[in-house]
Amino acid sequence: MYGLLCESLHDFIKESYGEDVWKLVREKADVRLHSFVTHQVYSESVIPRIAKAASGVTGTPYNELMNSWGVYFLGFVGKYGYDRILKVLGRHVRDFVNGLDNLHEYLRFSYPKVQPPTFFCQEESATGVTLHYRSKRKGYLHYAMGQLRQMGKQFYDTDIHVEVLSEQMVGDYSHVTMRLNFDNSAYRYIMKEDEEEQEILPMTSDFFFEVFPFNIVFRQDMVVHNVGSGLATVFPDLDGKKINDAFLLARPLVELSWSMITSHPNNLFEIMSKEPVKRERNLHNRVQNTDYENANRTADVDVELMAFQSLIGEDYKGHDLSFL
């Protein structure tokens, strides 16, 4: 847990309830620190302890307090310039929500160890969208709900009513399904444009593979049928294997399967090789070794492929294909 979240909760309590209340909360939560460093990593237990202590000291129900903190957080991050990133994520609420899962990829430049939740949308209509929220952290639902409502008001001048449809534990993850009800008139225009016939510029597979040398092509059976020239240098035996036998899915927090990939067109998929890759010094342009102290010797490294997006198409036999 990065100090940015801890510091925002600290500031929220001080501004909402006063310095004396913060001191009582800190004592009850057994937190010795008076403030937090934004880029430092702290224990995952810090925020739950502070939030529960604040709820007890102030008499504010826990969920209500977390919701108010979520509202406060959007204003807090403005002090660090992150509001500028939030403002350009989309012209409409639907654009922001559909791209919400990718927001944390921007933050990885400043917070490389961030463990973000996963968001993906379904059942979009002119009156809103169904949002799925998955997180390894428990107890942050109302914090996220507060952020969503404030996002609508602050950036789009739109009221968002959040209705929790279901909440359950799936393995180690908390999976929440929410219905976001808002004026989604922009969806009507998108649907109208999709219905209109548009001339599509044809692209040959050879041209596509040349432009994207790190592509992976597989069918519904998940068997790899083509590996880009750049990727084949690192994984020469990948062709013919099942992609889920060779890689683990780091993000989003869903199963690595055909149905999940095709149903998440707005999500970026981050996969990591199951087996370490042999890397020698003269191959530094092919695989980047992060172990600089041992850069002069052969090393085993896990190759992480980040920010891959699926593209569904058809081959000459009429079988569906997915390109990563």
Query: 113-163 pLDDT, tens per residue?
Result: 777 788 888 888 889 999 999 888 888 999 999 999 999 998 899 999 999
What pLDDT does 58 receive?
94
Query: Given a cut of 80, is residue 104 above it in pLDDT?
Result: no
The answer to whether residues 177 and 256 belong to one domain is no
DSSP 8-state symbol, 293: G
Evaluate whether residue 237 is within a structural domain: yes
What pLDDT does 189 receive?
67
Evaluate whether residue 132 is within a structural domain: yes
What pLDDT does 190 receive?
65
Counting every residue written for the chain, the total comes to 324
What pLDDT does 71 receive?
94
d(CA 73, CA 108): 18
φ and ψ at residue 66, rounded to 5 degrees: -65, -40
Q: Any idea what the CATH number is for the domain that residue 271 is in?
A: 3.30.450.260
What pLDDT does 273 receive?
83
Both tokens assigned to 3: 């100090």
The answer to whether residues 218 and 304 belong to one domain is yes
What pLDDT does 278 receive?
61
Helix, strand, or coil (residue 22)? helix
What pLDDT does 281 receive?
46
What pLDDT does 172 receive?
80
The answer to whether residues 216 and 164 belong to one domain is no
What is this structure's pTM? Answer: 0.68
What pLDDT does 298 receive?
35
pLDDT > 90: percent of the chain: 28
Evaluate whether residue 267 is within a structural domain: yes
The answer to whether residues 211 and 319 belong to one domain is yes
Evaluate whether residue 259 is within a structural domain: yes
Evaluate whether residue 84 is within a structural domain: no
Domain that holds residue 38: 3-60
